[in-house]
Structure 1
Amino acid sequence: MDITRGGPADVPAIMAMLDDAQDWLASQGRTGQWGTDHFSGQPAAVERFTDYATTSTVWLATADHDAAEGNVAEVAGVIVTSDTPPDYVPAADEPEHYVLLLLTARAHTGTGVGAALLEHARAQARAAGIGLLRVDCYDGDDHRLVAYYEKQGFTSVDTFTAHGGTWPGRLLAQHL
């Protein structure tokens, strides 16, 4: 697996991963996180992720996939970080890297892609002299996402609701 810098040209691949993740969550009866309407079909969502890819830092994990015509790089996951959190999260008291998106392609789930991307974000933060990495995630249903981030070394900081009070979230932090 390689981790390379991404950008606006990668938005279609990111949107496809998001759509696949939504389908999987829905198949598990877990629609509270992202609903069932594909992000790729929502102009505001496409605009948001295009903005992320333009104004934030995008890193792609790629895996070589053997194809009949040779190896083809396949996007296995993405992490998007920023020096500012989303507007629904209070600013930190110190410089930070904020994880706006961490997503593993369904075909690569359970292979360590997310952990590798988080480690890459930690290394980028340290290299920039930043000692704080924060992330928020869905805090409904079975809390599996919160447990994942805690397993990755994050500590719960606060809970909140977004989207008009309909989306339960949790803010987590990790001091580097």
Structure 2
Amino acid sequence: MDVTRGGPADVPAIMQMLDDAQDWLASQGRSGQWGTDHWSAAPAGVERITRLATTGTVWLGVIDDVPAGTIITSTTPPDYVPPAPEPEHYVSLLVTARAYAGHGVGAALLAHARAEAHTAGIGLLRVDCYDGDDHRLVGYYERQGFTSVSAFTARDGTWPGRVLALRV
């Protein structure tokens, strides 16, 4: 897999990955994370991903010229997460195309984000994720070396989340 720099032009591919992931989660009875309505069908969802792709740093994992996953990082967390007491890289989005699930795409993109933070002299990488249902996503990040920092709720207290951190 090659990791290449992306940007706003990649929003349609990112939206497709999110829609496919959402379908898969719903088929597993795990719609609490993203619901059942496609990201691409909601103007607010498209606007959010476009904003992230415009203001953050987009990296694509590419296999045989096909986007297999993406990670978007920034230097600030979203509004619902308190800022860190030191400079950080924040994982704003990590998603793997369903065709490449289980192939280590997410782990490779996280490794790339760690390396980018290290190169920039930043010692902290944080992420937040859904912490409801079976807590599988939190477990995934813990297996990638992240440590739980704090729990929070978003969307008017209806969406349980967790902030995790990794020393770079």
Percent identity between the two aligned chains: 76
The residue that corresponds to 2:160 in the other structure is 168
Partner Cα separation in structure 1 for residue 51 and residue 160 of structure 2: 24
Helix, strand or coil at the partner of 1:16: helix
Give the drift of 1:76: 0.2
TM-score of the aligned structures, taking structure 1 as reference length:
0.95
Give the drift of 1:167: 0.2
After superposition, residues 86-101 of structure 1 pair within 5 angstroms as 86-101=78-93
The residue that corresponds to 1:153 in the other structure is 145
Partner Cα separation in structure 1 for residue 106 and residue 22 of structure 2: 17
1:116 equivalenced with 2:108 (yes/no):
yes
Partner Cα separation in structure 1 for residue 23 and residue 159 of structure 2: 18
The residue that corresponds to 1:13 in the other structure is 13
Partner Cα separation in structure 2 for residue 93 and residue 138 of structure 1: 23
After superposition, residues 1-176 of structure 1 pair within 5 angstroms as 1-64=1-64, 73-176=65-168
Give the drift of 1:119: 0.3
Partner Cα separation in structure 1 for residue 113 and residue 148 of structure 2: 19
CA deviations 1:63-96 (Å, max 9, x no partner) are 01xxxxxxxx100000000000000000000000
Helix, strand or coil at the partner of 2:83: coil
Runs of 4+ in 1 over 3 A off after TM superposition: none
TM-score of the aligned structures, taking structure 2 as reference length:
0.99
Give the drift of 1:22: 0.5
Considering only aligned residues, what root-mean-square deviation do their CA atoms show, in Å?
A: 0.4
Give the drift of 1:148: 0.4
Structure 2: unaligned runs, 5 residues or longer: none
Larger radius of gyration: 1
Partner Cα separation in structure 2 for residue 152 and residue 12 of structure 1: 27
